[in-house]
Amino acid sequence: MREVPAPFDGRQVRTVQLRHHASHAVGGASYSIPSRWCGHPVDLFVGTDTVSFGFGDEVVCHPRVPFGGKSVDYRHLLLPLSRKPQALRQVVHELVAQFGEPWPAIWSALRACYAPDELEAARRLAPWLERADREGLARLAPRMREALADGTLVTAPRRANAADALANVPVALRSYAIESADLRRYDLLLEAARCSA
């Protein structure tokens, strides 16, 4: 009796060069790739049901999605999202749902603490993403639960940027408090203008 031959692998195989985005388009759909692979050539395997990427000994596999769709594994984007709070704020609900507990509880606590400023809550969540990238989601989860229990959610200061630089304020003006802008006031002004017209 002859040895059973290996099953035929009908996947399309090619090498692609990743740019600076942690995703790659295949057949009009977008698939996430670990951000540390950016800038490197990666093996792409396109099958009828799956799209896989290989780099060294690592392989990432996604189910095939239709044209215009996305398959995003947020574990691939931990470091980039930790550095871009605005982008994190836009995808945070999908991210915490994908990661499961304790991430939704952490996000809820931060939102409650910094309401209504979700951007500030995202800034405070960002260091947790950076730690998850270094340590792994499973190893970080117990520390996150402890932080929820003892109230020490914010373990790293908010990153300073150029917009946060303190201006030199003259001594005569230091006693004045300046309110932050509230766009709802413009809505009230517009409504008042409509009523008076």
What is the structure's pLDDT at 73? 92
Mean pLDDT of the chain: 83
Beta bridge partners of 58: 55
Helix (H, G, I), strand (E, B) or coil at 106: helix
- What are the residue boundaries of the structural domains of the chain, listed by start? 12-72, 77-150
- pTM > 0.85: no
* pLDDT tens by residue, 9-37: 667 778 888 777 788 888 899 999 998 88
pLDDT at 183 over 70: no
